[in-house]
């Protein structure tokens, strides 16, 4: 086995050989990284953070009662963290020093993985820190674990690994934010392993500063009867690409992926999701929505692969998109690959504007045209957020998402 230095060197060579993904790659057809170098320079991966101070209080979710693991500019911040004693936690940077063989497991680059790309290899080579967490068998975390990744621009490379033992239960909230005004980049991989009967509720909030690039990946591997729910909100950043790769490895595993994009201006948001039904009797549900204004561009690709032996697979996918301006665009593509007959797979896509009959109904009750539009936009997006567990997290996302849309004037009133 390679030692960690060799491994990182090899990963870097792999990145250098292929270079950044281009729009000639099928998986990157709609997401163009060619401006990355123009914005951040040839060595885009090692740009220093700006002088802007990271204001934790201003960026964090108010009133959230949770444990906290804080990273600032790609490094663990012990003083700002509050880690439960019931879990085993090591920052990746320490793990690389103290138990390099464990660290290699997490950062190892796997070229055969679905939706593999050179960014992941670069992240393997460059990851400076991240959270390495083990939650023991039968352990139930009493409060959410809030992993807050803040940056003041520059290049950040993070890798987090979380393992839930048998019948363990936890709620994890990952948030990516910054308040600088310069261009920067975040690359991040979150690897999740759920052992038998484990349950994980995972909220992922991408709220990067306005000129930040965000290239992320979530890998979930699930064993028997485990349950995974993702609430992914894409609100910030200039360009965001996140790949969600879910592997249902043993019977009875369930995966729910909920996603919401709210984009305006020239924002570009891309989620590629890939769910592999590798075992019989697994359930997957996918519900993604986008609200796009200005010249925003959204991309959704939802691929579901049902393996030969994965009989009684039950899978449903829905993607609905609301375009608020003529210049906004969405490229959406459901993909099903099914290798046996005994499955239930449904999928549906809609792209549209606000419903005229609903608008007229609201106006006939005395709402102005603008208020009626806001209310319907809000309702459309909020259907995804209503599945969140914590009201304060939901409010936080709602405020961030709708503050950027035009004419939302009575947000407090609508939130009730």
User: Which residue number, 47 or 323, has a Cβ lying nearer to other proteins?
Assistant: 323
Closest CA to 87 of 135, 132, 140, 143: 135
- What is the closest distance, in whole angstroms, from the C-beta atom of residue 361 to other proteins in the complex? 5
Stretch that binds other proteins, among 54-62, 130-138, 203-211, 381-389 (CB under 8 A): 381-389
Q: How do 184-194 and 169-178 pair as beta strands? A: unpaired
- What is the closest distance, in whole angstroms, from the C-beta atom of residue 183 to other proteins in the complex? 36
Any contact of residue 412 with other proteins (CB under 8 A)?
Answer: no
Residue of 382, 388, 390, 397 interacting with other proteins (CB under 8 A): 382
User: Which residue number, 84 or 406, has a Cβ lying nearer to other proteins?
Assistant: 406
Label residue 253 exposed, middle or buried (CB < 10 Å: 0-12, 13-18, 19+).
buried
Site size with other proteins, rule: CB under 8 A: 28
- Token pair of 384 as six digits: 């995804």
- What is the closest distance, in whole angstroms, from the C-beta atom of residue 377 to other proteins in the complex? 10
- What is the closest distance, in whole angstroms, from the C-beta atom of residue 356 to other proteins in the complex? 7
In contact, 246 and 272? CB cutoff 8 Å: no
User: Which residue number, 19 or 366, has a Cβ lying nearer to other proteins?
Assistant: 366
- What is the closest distance, in whole angstroms, from the C-beta atom of residue 381 to other proteins in the complex? 9
User: Which residue number, 61 or 375, has a Cβ lying nearer to other proteins?
Assistant: 375
Residue of 383, 399, 400, 406 interacting with other proteins (CB under 8 A): 383
- What is the closest distance, in whole angstroms, from the C-beta atom of residue 322 to other proteins in the complex? 12
Euclidean distance between the first and the last CA atom of the chain, given in angstroms as a whole number: 57
User: Which residue number, 6 or 410, has a Cβ lying nearer to other proteins?
Assistant: 410
- What is the closest distance, in whole angstroms, from the C-beta atom of residue 344 to other proteins in the complex? 24
Binding pattern for the stretch 301-340 against other proteins, x by CB under 8 A and - elsewhere: ----------------------------------------
Token pair 């829905």 is found at 318
- What is the closest distance, in whole angstroms, from the C-beta atom of residue 363 to other proteins in the complex? 4
Cα–Cα distance, 60 to 16 (Å, whole number): 36
Closest CA to 381 of 318, 321, 298: 321
User: Which residue number, 107 or 408, has a Cβ lying nearer to other proteins?
Assistant: 408
Cα–Cα distance, 199 to 190 (Å, whole number): 16
* CA 188 to the chain's CA centroid: 10
Closest CA to 337 of 301, 300, 290: 301
- What is the closest distance, in whole angstroms, from the C-beta atom of residue 318 to other proteins in the complex? 14
The angle subtended at Cα 343 by Cα 342 and Cα 346, nearest 5°, is 150
User: Which residue number, 32 or 383, has a Cβ lying nearer to other proteins?
Assistant: 383
User: Which residue number, 36 or 414, has a Cβ lying nearer to other proteins?
Assistant: 414
In contact, 166 and 139? CB cutoff 8 Å: no
One-letter-per-residue 3-state SS of 145-210: EEEEEEECCEEEEEEEEEEECCCCEEEEEEEEEECCCCCEEEEEEEEEEECCCCEEEEEEEEECCC
User: Which residue number, 339 or 360, has a Cβ lying nearer to other proteins?
Assistant: 360
Q: At what angle do helices 356-364 and 369-385 cross, to 10 degrees?
A: 120
User: Which residue number, 112 or 364, has a Cβ lying nearer to other proteins?
Assistant: 364
Residue 42 parent element (H or E): none
- Token pair of 285 as six digits: 């549900």
- What is the closest distance, in whole angstroms, from the C-beta atom of residue 314 to other proteins in the complex? 24
Binding pattern for the stretch 341-380 against other proteins, x by CB under 8 A and - elsewhere: --------------xxxx-xxxxxxxxxx-xx--xx-xxx
Per CB under 8 A, residues contacting other proteins are 355-358, 360-369, 371-372, 375-376, 378-380, 382-383, 386, 410, 413-414, 416
């Amino acid at each position: 086995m390679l030692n960690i230095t060799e491994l990182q060197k090899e990963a870097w060579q792999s990145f250098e050989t292929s270079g950044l993904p281009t729009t000639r790659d099928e998986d990157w057809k709609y997401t163009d990284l060619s401006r990355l170098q123009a914005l951040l320079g040839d060595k885009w991966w090692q740009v220093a953070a700006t002088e802007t101070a990271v204001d934790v209080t201003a960026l964090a979710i108010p009133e959230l009662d949770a444990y906290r693991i804080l990273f600032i500019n790609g490094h663990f911040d012990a003083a700002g963290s509050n880690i439960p004693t019931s879990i085993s936690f090591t920052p990746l940077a320490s793990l690389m020093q103290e138990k390099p063989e464990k660290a290699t497991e997490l950062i190892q680059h796997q070229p055969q993985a679905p939706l593999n790309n050179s960014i992941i290899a670069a992240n393997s080579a460059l990851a400076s820190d991240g959270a390495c967490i083990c939650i023991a068998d039968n352990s139930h975390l009493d409060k959410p674990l809030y992993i807050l990744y803040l940056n003041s621009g520059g290049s950040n490379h993070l890798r987090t690994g979380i393992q839930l033992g048998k019948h363990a239960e936890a709620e994890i909230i990952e948030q990516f934010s910054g308040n600088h005004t310069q261009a920067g980049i975040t690359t991040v991989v979150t690897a999740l392993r759920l052992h038998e009967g484990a349950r994980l509720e995972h909220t992922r909030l991408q709220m990067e500063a306005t000129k930040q690039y965000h290239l992320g990946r979530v890998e979930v591997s699930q064993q028997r009867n485990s349950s995974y729910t993702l609430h992914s909100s894409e609100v910030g950043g200039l360009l965001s690409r996140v790949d969600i790769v879910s592997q249902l490895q043993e019977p009875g595993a369930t995966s729910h992926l909920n996603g919401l994009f709210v984009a305006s201006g020239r924002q570009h948001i891309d989620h590629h999701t890939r769910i592999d039904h590798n075992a019989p009797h697994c359930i997957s549900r996918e519900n993604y929505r986008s609200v796009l204004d200005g010249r925003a561009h959204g991309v959704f690709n939802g691929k579901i692969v049902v393996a030969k032996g994965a009989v009684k697979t039950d899978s449903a996918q829905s993607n609905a998109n609301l375009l608020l301006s003529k210049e906004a665009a969405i490229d959406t593509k459901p993909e099903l690959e099914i290798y046996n007959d005994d499955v239930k797979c449904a999928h549906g896509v809609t792209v549209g504007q606000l419903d005229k009959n609903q608008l007229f109904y609201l106006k006939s009750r005395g709402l102005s045209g603008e208020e009626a539009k806001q209310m319907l936009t809000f309702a459309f997006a909020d259907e995804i957020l209503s599945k969140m567990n914590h009201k304060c997290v939901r409010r936080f996302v709602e405020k961030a998402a709708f503050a950027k849309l035009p004419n939302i004037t009575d947000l407090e009133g609508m939130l009730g």
